[in-house]
Chain A
Amino acid sequence: MKVLLSGNEAIASAAYENGIKFAAGYPGTPATEILEEISAYQGINAQWSVNEKVALDVAVGASLGGLRSLVAMKHVGMNVASDTLMTLSYVGVNAGLIIVTVDDPGMHSSQNEQDNRNYAKFAKIPLLEPSDSQEAKDFVRIALHISEKYDVPVFIRLTARIAHTESIVKMSGNDKNLFVKKLSLNPAKYVMIPSNARARRLFVEKRLKRLERFSEEFSFNRVEWKKGELGIITSGLCYQYARESCPNASILKLSLTYPLPNNLILNFAKKFPFIYVIEELDPFLQEQIQAMGVKVKGRELFPFTGELSVDLIQKHLLRQVPIKSFSFPKRTFSRSPSLCAGCAYLGLFYILKKMKMIVIGDIGCYSLCALPPLSSLETCISMGSGLGIAQGLRSALNKKLKKRVVGVIGDSTFIHSGIPALINSIYNKEITTTIILDNQATAMTGGQDHPGTGVNIRKEKVPKTSFEALTDSLGIKKTIIIDSYNLRQVKKVIRESLNYKYSSLIIARNPCVLKVPKRYKRSFQIIPGRCSSCKECLKLGCPALISKEDKPYIDPQICIGCSLCRQICPRSAIKEAK
């Protein structure tokens, strides 16, 4: 049967069909759907872990216990998991273990553009790069084979475009090969104290040599000979761009891109005066192929950032004049993302800005508060980093400024990696004000549950992490729970916190508006006679409030009736619509 599946869905269906019994990850666009889809299959123990490192650790344990396992995360998640990864390479696996990482060329929904293929080289583990959903599916099977045969965790690296492109996949049926491996305890292999690690270090190098030989024979590293003069080496999605834009070129399509098949590459390259390497992000293939002594052109021809495309190859490599398409005399503006209409963050960040607070945060929907008109977030670097940065910043500032520093963090992010930073502030006597933005969801990635919601990936009820009880035990003297839709209370609580002589915690507890839609069952409107067009309400940045003929207007289709704009209108010109 042929079906259309995205790359992420293909990975999930292959996990099921190939006897993977354990899967873990942390939500992150563009990788989120892998775990979501896997959790829908019976017979796979799937979990949202609290962060990517824990996800990898539990998968290592499951593999050790004899279950084929898979971990999925976005590219930056690999940074969190890398501590385990680097030594896991020495340790190897018992049952097959696959790590799926999804990179984001063009940074469509990420804070950086790192190329995770480098991790394969760094950790000395094999790397597979599918070029469509069918390959994503096939490579899960192959990765398990490699993992178990060579005693190694295997990377499957997608990019956002592969993860979110639907293409045709042949479905083969389910879970035929009943796979059972037994627990095999072996301290020399799993306890990486120096004496054991030195032995495993040698094993890693020998394994790499064996994998190189596998790469030479691997049928998915293949040459497509054509009559044209060009010779191209490429991998992943770039293969599709290269094949379409250069139909007459001979192409060496690499699928196992670490370790590389040296002989295959050299034999291909000697047929041409030089080789074009077509790849996105880092010159990962190019540098290795150059080091083999092959004359290579590639990365330097293209813009060094963003996605490649047929258009870019035609323009920069083939020097073709672009098709004269229809051009429209136009002037348009790109749309930046915004918070949802009635989001609880709108009012809170509006007040933080009014009070001239220095708001230090990180990753989540609240990152969007950095954009105008709210413009009230000063940092966004990595998960959980806001709370640490706020401490360092306070210690660098004078008394007057120091008071204005507030660390903000989402509920899921707090559990992911905010807790150690909060403990750090108490331990090191840095007085901090922290706001946990508790919207009871991992909102930015689609509202996934987490330990603070008391519901797991299978929608089962589990004990709920209590932020109050937790932070109380850490030595936070004052914890206040606020309703962000009551702006008077918000203002009062923040003003009071400025003068505390001890660390305080504010929990802004309002559910994500996407989780409880139409909660208020009302909408608001502007009374034309009373509105003076001061546009104070537009400073909220609520998508329901727009400027119509230079006057504020509330779109009744979008307004959820939260009343934040009514609370800030200086002329009381906003009232409930009938």
Chain B
Amino acid sequence: MKVRGINILIAGLGGQGVLLAGDIISRALLNEGYDVKASALRGMAQRGGMMLSHIRAGKKVYSPLIPKGRVDILVALELEECIKQVEYLKKAGSVFFLDRYMPAREAKGRKIKGPHSIIKSLKENFGNRAVQIPYDRALNNSRNVKTLNMFMLGVLSRYLFINKSSWFKSINETFSRNMRDDNLSAFSAGRNLYSTF
């Protein structure tokens, strides 16, 4: 255990693979020897609702939910869900966001922040701790909208202290053989996105 612990929040919409992404991170953290809790309520979110997955790791974890202002890393698969959760971030926290914008049906015809102003504010406030992942490139590189979550994890894996072997062990355990290749290749594509930086 190189780091004392970490709180990761994944935000997105039902169907985007938020739960699965949470499972993979938490198993990778388990492989690193941490106590881990991962919490996400399933149910209605399948029908297009918001989806949140709390992942906590440390020597001993009590509450499965991360308290406000204590999230180290926010991973967001949609911009509006991203700004809903920023208040949970630590001041020194980081945010990895896919720049995909799918406003809620309920927001129709009302004044809301557009995608550009959301991205601008995120960058202003978090500087280089706001890591933008371009949707077009992610979709291109992972070749499948269903593995975008894996692509995101790939990007994240470059910044996190988790060993490569723990990631791959977790991914191999999670997927059955016929799903594994697609997901592994999306993860690897994400891992290589910013490798040139």
A interface list, Cβ under 8 A from B = 2-4, 29-30, 108-109, 132, 160-161, 164-168, 237, 240-241, 243-245, 309-311, 314, 322-340, 365, 368, 446, 543, 546-547, 557
State the main secondary structure of chain A at its contact with B.
Answer: loop
A337 touches B48 (CB 8 A): yes
Which residues from chain A contact B125 at a C-beta distance below 8 Å? 326, 328
Given contacts A161-B39, A167-B61, A244-B62, 8 further A-B contacts (CB under 8 A): A29-B43, A167-B36, A245-B63, A310-B63, A311-B67, A326-B91, A331-B110, A337-B49
Specify the chain A residue showing the minimal Cβ separation from B48: A338
Specify the chain A residue showing the minimal Cβ separation from B102: A546
A30 touches B104 (CB 8 A): no
Known: A309-B67, A330-B83. A164 touches B113 (CB 8 A): no
Which residues from chain A contact B40 at a C-beta distance below 8 Å? 164
CA distance A572 to B47 in the complex (A): 29
Which residues from chain B contact A166 at a C-beta distance below 8 Å? 23, 26, 36-39
A332 touches B112 (CB 8 A): yes
B47 touches A368 (CB 8 A): yes
A332 touches B69 (CB 8 A): no
Specify the chain B residue showing the minimal Cβ separation from A243: B62
Which residues from chain B contact A330 at a C-beta distance below 8 Å? 83-84, 113
B169 at the interface (CB under 8 A from A): no
State the main secondary structure of chain B at its contact with A.
Answer: mixed
Could you give, for residues 35-66 of chain B, a 1 whenever the CB lies within 8 Å of some chain A CB and a 0 otherwise? Answer: 11111111111111110000000000111110
Closest-CB distance, A346 to chain B (whole angstroms): 13
A337 touches B90 (CB 8 A): no
Closest-CB distance, A103 to chain B (whole angstroms): 13
Closest-CB distance, B14 to chain A (whole angstroms): 8
B105 at the interface (CB under 8 A from A): yes
CA distance A339 to B47 in the complex (A): 6
Task: Give the number of residues in B that approach A within 8 Å (Cβ atoms).
Answer: 54
Closest-CB distance, B70 to chain A (whole angstroms): 7
Which residues from chain B contact A337 at a C-beta distance below 8 Å? 14, 44-49
CA distance A47 to B12 in the complex (A): 34
B143 at the interface (CB under 8 A from A): no
A165 touches B38 (CB 8 A): yes
CA distance A330 to B62 in the complex (A): 31
CA distance A478 to B44 in the complex (A): 35
CA distance A324 to B88 in the complex (A): 10
Closest-CB distance, A414 to chain B (whole angstroms): 21
Specify the chain B residue showing the minimal Cβ separation from A341: B48
Specify the chain A residue showing the minimal Cβ separation from B35: A168
A327 touches B39 (CB 8 A): no
> A331 touches which one: B45, B48, B112 (CB < 8 A)?
B112
B68 at the interface (CB under 8 A from A): yes
CA distance A340 to B14 in the complex (A): 11
A335 touches B39 (CB 8 A): no
Provide 26 A-B residue pairs closer than 8 Å at the C-beta atoms, listed in order of the A residue. Answer: A4-B26, A4-B30, A4-B36, A132-B37, A160-B43, A166-B26, A237-B64, A244-B63, A325-B69, A325-B87, A325-B88, A326-B89, A326-B125, A328-B86, A330-B113, A331-B111, A331-B112, A331-B113, A333-B106, A335-B13, A335-B49, A336-B105, A337-B48, A340-B47, A543-B48, A557-B145
B80 at the interface (CB under 8 A from A): yes
Interface-central residue, B23, B44, B93, B108, by most chain A CB under 10 Å: B44
A240 touches B63 (CB 8 A): yes
CA distance A368 to B43 in the complex (A): 13
Could you give, for residues 117-146 of chain B, a 1 whenever the CB lies within 8 Å of some chain A CB and a 0 otherwise? Answer: 000010001000000000000000000010
Specify the chain B residue showing the minimal Cβ separation from A445: B43
Closest-CB distance, A135 to chain B (whole angstroms): 13
B27 at the interface (CB under 8 A from A): yes
B89 touches A332 (CB 8 A): no
